[in-house]
A and B are shown apart, each in its own frame.
Chain A
Amino acid sequence: MSSLTQGPPEALVTNPTSERQDTVRERKRRGSIRPTLAPWAFLAPAIVLFVLFLVIPIGYAIYLSFVGLRVDGGAFGKRTQVFVGFENYVSYLTNPEFIASFGRLALFGFIAVPLTLGLALLFALLLDLPGVKATRFARTAIFLPYAVPGVIATLLWGFMYLPTTSPFNYALNAIGLPDFDFLSSNSIYGSLANIAIWAAVGFNMIILYTALRSIPAEIYEAAKLDGAPEWRIAWHIKIPLLAPALLLTLLFSLIGTLQAYGEPMTLRTLSSSISYSFFPLMKIYRDAFGTDDVSGAAAASVVMALGTLLISILLLRVLQRRTFDNAR
């Protein structure tokens, strides 16, 4: 997050040619090579960590995605690792269960993402209204669910969904209505999305609210002098100026949706509507650690990572240019 809010790194801004000339000149003057070494020394720890914990694991995953365990013959032959080329990719991209899991994920995302952003925007705008009381308390209260660990939040909601322990069903029964099955195969998407929304609204609200607070007050004054009511100020001034922050939260929400795993995995023990391969990441986990198809899982992970990257780039390319050009 911080890397997105900071300005571009110094190195990209400075003209590389002029810098090189500078250092060459400087080196001649001092007769030392130290200045060229110092940056490397400072970078070394980061590079080592980057290589150790990012480049090597990613490289290993890509390597794994091109090999597979194949039997060397016989009914009880031993499985050995062989190069299989793109076979893992082909079998995943044509696997109906893997494709269906993306369909379910999309359904979940269509409910969760707009509602999360909509509610976050609504809360941020309400908190930003002049004369609103107890903003600090309200802000903390809305943000608080984000601080609850995902598994705890899911269990908490899970017990509120379970017919026997659900306070909602208790309330429904009290007014003479029948039970509602929150965990049935149709309502499960709403129930899952509800947990995700509950946890994420506060975080997104804080980003949007912070962006709102940084808008100069003179703009509102001008609008007020022209007699604009608060909702017109919100619609015509605040929301357009919030576009970059909204884009950022949209990106976070989409990536978060693609990574949805904890909620369905935890609810799976409570509901029979959630299969082992309900969402893509669940299928990947199952293949890697349940059916011992690490290579297939690696291939699917690479597909997921490339997909996430593609969505991020497209979103930033298409939308960022428009919003940031307008903002300028």
Chain B
Amino acid sequence: MTRKSFRIFATAGAAVAALALSSCSGSAADDGPVTLEYWTWAPAIPEVAEQWNAENPDIQVKVVEAAGADDIVAKLLAAQRAGEGPDIVAAEYQKLPNLVVSDAGLDISEYITDDLRDDFTDATWNLTTVGDGVYAVPQDTGPMVFLYRADLFEQYGLEVPTTWDEYAALAAQVREVAPDSYLGGYPDDTSTLAAYAQPLGAQWWSTDGDAWEVGIDDVETQRVADFWQPLVRDDVVDTTHFFTPEWNTMMNDGTLLSWTAGVWAPGTIESVAPDTAGKWRIAKMPSWDGETTAGLMGGSSAMVSKTSEHPEEAVKFLEWLNGGEGSILLAEGGLFPASIEGQESLSSLPVPAIVEGQDDFWTVAADIASDTAPVTWGPNVQVAFDAWSDSIKSVVASGGEFTDALTATQDATVADLKKTGFTVK
């Protein structure tokens, strides 16, 4: 290579290097007001944060709707590996352990004041405690409720089921009195399956010293799987996955009479089946053996990112947002707050349009929320979630055993833990 051509290559190389470097440089700390970047998908946050910004000129919060709950983990990890990322990021409770072992979250124990600690129940703090550290401030929660069409229940002369045995009998009754309708759907969604098994005492993930124990294929969840299999086989329950356009239609036209889901469900139905406003009611989800605890489906927290340069200010903001005043605003914005004060404030709010007419809606909801099963999620929840929803669909299509899908989920979860280097008992 001649000298001149070398120069051309050197210039090109320098350009490459410059490009690579420019994308790595982080933002330097400023002396003046602090600006916190906050990635979230929750609806009420931008308006509530504006109020904070108006009252706190020194700590400004910039809300970015970066991605939905499913994509936000990948986006956060990609941003952090590139040396960037937000200060605060919304994290579903079940994704938090994954974020912690991926080294994306910051242990904020040292910034948590006693006031903040008192804002939530111990069971709620348990959801954001991973190992020895607290990695997020709880935001909203999703205790399971039985949401049903009161008008159609009355029309067909149906009773709200209090146990799962009654549920099964009722599902068969619905097929007789209204052959085109179903009482509800089976849990092809993993978070629903988990919420059904939690009141039985199922512990899908637990730690014993340094080792993980996976209990997805335990007797409790097997019982749930065995309960649903004959209902699906006899076409007594529907197999349409929720949130599909088909399901939306069925919720709207009265084909589906109930949905057992998190307490956020009325808000969801409001967007997919607005015509049914006022026709729904909630009740406690059916119990297996008369137990009172409810399962949890969904709910999320606000995590302080590892790359944040202002963790103290971030926790200060999160204390206001999720603890007292802010959580009341969040409740008004449509979230079911995790804080005690936020949940107490609910009773003064108008009930969601979808359950209009049920005056005790908030009391019922708060009552269910006060007694939820303790849940520990593991570091590879997504693997288990995908494994169940994939394998149960193929089992239903091929006519196999539901418990086989459960075993497949357990095996996939354990194999993934082992592959990552965890000790599994």
Interface residues, chain A, with chain B CB atoms under 8 Å away: 33, 36-37, 40-41, 44, 47-48, 51-52, 56, 69-79, 91, 97, 159, 162-165, 184-185, 269-273, 275-277, 286, 288-292
Tell me, in angstroms, the Cα distance from A269 to B245 when the chains sit together. 8
Whether A275 lies near B207 (C-beta < 8 A) is no
Whether B16 lies near A52 (C-beta < 8 A) is yes
Whether B12 lies near A290 (C-beta < 8 A) is no
**Residues B43-94 near A (CB distance < 8 A):** 70-71, 73-74, 77
Determine the chain A residues whose CB is within 8 A of the CB of B5 once the complex forms.
Answer: 36-37, 40
Determine the chain A residues whose CB is within 8 A of the CB of B380 once the complex forms.
Answer: 291
Tell me, in angstroms, the Cα distance from A76 to B421 when the chains sit together. 11
Determine the chain B residues whose CB is within 8 A of the CB of A163 once the complex forms.
Answer: 246
Determine the chain B residues whose CB is within 8 A of the CB of A184 once the complex forms.
Answer: 397
Contact of A164 among B103, B188, B249, B390 (CB under 8 A): B249
Q: What total count of A-B pairs have CB within 8 Å?
A: 118
Whether B244 lies near A272 (C-beta < 8 A) is yes
Determine the chain A residues whose CB is within 8 A of the CB of B257 once the complex forms.
Answer: none
Whether A272 lies near B188 (C-beta < 8 A) is yes
Whether B422 lies near A71 (C-beta < 8 A) is yes
Apart from A76-B207, A79-B101, 14 more pairs, CB < 8 Å: A36-B2, A37-B5, A75-B207, A75-B211, A76-B131, A77-B421, A77-B422, A164-B245, A164-B249, A269-B243, A269-B244, A272-B239, A276-B386, A290-B74
Contact of A289 among B2, B71, B210, B419 (CB under 8 A): B71
List, sorted by A's number, 14 A–B pairs whose CB atoms are closer than 8 Å.
Answer: A36-B2, A37-B2, A37-B5, A44-B9, A48-B15, A52-B16, A71-B101, A72-B421, A74-B210, A97-B390, A164-B246, A185-B397, A273-B393, A291-B386
Tell me, in angstroms, the Cα distance from A165 to B423 when the chains sit together. 50
Whether A48 lies near B12 (C-beta < 8 A) is yes
Determine the chain A residues whose CB is within 8 A of the CB of B2 once the complex forms.
Answer: 33, 36-37
Whether A47 lies near B74 (C-beta < 8 A) is no
Determine the chain A residues whose CB is within 8 A of the CB of B98 once the complex forms.
Answer: 292
* Least Cβ–Cβ distance between B65 and chain A, in angstroms: 18
Whether B74 lies near A289 (C-beta < 8 A) is yes
Whether A79 lies near B420 (C-beta < 8 A) is yes
Determine the chain A residues whose CB is within 8 A of the CB of B420 once the complex forms.
Answer: 69-71, 79
Whether A292 lies near B73 (C-beta < 8 A) is yes
**Residues B1-26 near A (CB distance < 8 A):** 2, 4-5, 8-9, 12, 15-16, 19
Contact of A79 among B9, B15, B103, B131 (CB under 8 A): B103
Judge if B382 is at the interface, Cβ distance under 8 Å.
Answer: yes
Tell me, in angstroms, the Cα distance from A159 to B246 when the chains sit together. 10
Whether B73 lies near A271 (C-beta < 8 A) is no
Tell me, in angstroms, the Cα distance from A50 to B358 when the chains sit together. 65
Residue of B nearest to A47 (CB): B12
Interface residues, chain B, with chain A CB atoms under 8 Å away: 2, 4-5, 8-9, 12, 15-16, 19, 70-71, 73-74, 77, 97-98, 100-103, 130-132, 188, 207, 209-212, 239-241, 243-246, 249, 379-380, 382-383, 386, 389-390, 393-394, 397, 416, 419-423
Whether B101 lies near A77 (C-beta < 8 A) is yes
Whether A291 lies near B102 (C-beta < 8 A) is no
Tell me, in angstroms, the Cα distance from A269 to B248 when the chains sit together. 12
* Least Cβ–Cβ distance between B225 and chain A, in angstroms: 17
Whether B390 lies near A275 (C-beta < 8 A) is yes
Tell me, in angstroms, the Cα distance from A310 to B342 when the chains sit together. 61
Residue of A nearest to B19 (CB): A52
Whether A91 lies near B8 (C-beta < 8 A) is no
Whether B101 lies near A78 (C-beta < 8 A) is yes
Whether A292 lies near B77 (C-beta < 8 A) is yes
Contact of B16 among A48, A97, A185, A286 (CB under 8 A): A48
Determine the chain B residues whose CB is within 8 A of the CB of A276 once the complex forms.
Answer: 386, 389-390
Tell me, in angstroms, the Cα distance from A209 to B420 when the chains sit together. 54
Whether B8 lies near A162 (C-beta < 8 A) is no
* Least Cβ–Cβ distance between A207 and chain B, in angstroms: 36
Tell me, in angstroms, the Cα distance from A69 to B210 when the chains sit together. 18
* Least Cβ–Cβ distance between A97 and chain B, in angstroms: 8
Tell me, in angstroms, the Cα distance from A270 to B247 when the chains sit together. 9
Tell me, in angstroms, the Cα distance from A238 to B44 when the chains sit together. 66
* Least Cβ–Cβ distance between B66 and chain A, in angstroms: 14
Q: Which 9 A-B pairs have the closest CB atoms?
A: A76-B131, A289-B74, A71-B421, A70-B421, A275-B390, A185-B397, A272-B241, A75-B207, A48-B12
Whether B390 lies near A44 (C-beta < 8 A) is no
* Least Cβ–Cβ distance between B113 and chain A, in angstroms: 24
Whether A286 lies near B245 (C-beta < 8 A) is no
* Least Cβ–Cβ distance between A85 and chain B, in angstroms: 14
Residue of B nearest to A76 (CB): B131
Tell me, in angstroms, the Cα distance from A79 to B421 when the chains sit together. 9
Most B C-beta atoms less than 10 A away, residue of A40, A71, A272, A288: A272
Residue of A nearest to B248 (CB): A164
Determine the chain B residues whose CB is within 8 A of the CB of A36 once the complex forms.
Answer: 2, 5
Tell me, in angstroms, the Cα distance from A276 to B241 when the chains sit together. 14
Whether A40 lies near B8 (C-beta < 8 A) is yes
Whether A272 lies near B16 (C-beta < 8 A) is no
Whether B212 lies near A75 (C-beta < 8 A) is yes
Determine the chain B residues whose CB is within 8 A of the CB of A72 once the complex forms.
Answer: 421
Contact of B102 among A44, A185, A292 (CB under 8 A): A292
Residue of A nearest to B188 (CB): A272
Contact of B419 among A52, A91, A286 (CB under 8 A): A91
Whether B390 lies near A277 (C-beta < 8 A) is yes
Tell me, in angstroms, the Cα distance from A164 to B386 when the chains sit together. 28
Residue of A nearest to B419 (CB): A91
Whether B382 lies near A41 (C-beta < 8 A) is no
Residue of B nearest to A186 (CB): B397
Determine the chain A residues whose CB is within 8 A of the CB of B419 once the complex forms.
Answer: 91
Whether A75 lies near B209 (C-beta < 8 A) is yes
* Least Cβ–Cβ distance between B116 and chain A, in angstroms: 22
Determine the chain B residues whose CB is within 8 A of the CB of A273 once the complex forms.
Answer: 393, 397
Determine the chain A residues whose CB is within 8 A of the CB of B73 once the complex forms.
Answer: 292
Determine the chain A residues whose CB is within 8 A of the CB of B379 once the complex forms.
Answer: 76
* Least Cβ–Cβ distance between A99 and chain B, in angstroms: 15
Tell me, in angstroms, the Cα distance from A146 to B423 when the chains sit together. 52
Most A C-beta atoms less than 10 A away, residue of B2, B5, B98, B394: B5
Whether B210 lies near A75 (C-beta < 8 A) is yes
Whether B97 lies near A76 (C-beta < 8 A) is yes
Residue of A nearest to B74 (CB): A289
* Least Cβ–Cβ distance between A57 and chain B, in angstroms: 12
Residue of B nearest to A91 (CB): B419
Whether A272 lies near B393 (C-beta < 8 A) is yes
Determine the chain A residues whose CB is within 8 A of the CB of B244 once the complex forms.
Answer: 269-272
Most B C-beta atoms less than 10 A away, residue of A76, A79, A163: A76
Whether B16 lies near A76 (C-beta < 8 A) is no
Residue of B nearest to A70 (CB): B421
Tell me, in angstroms, the Cα distance from A77 to B132 when the chains sit together. 11
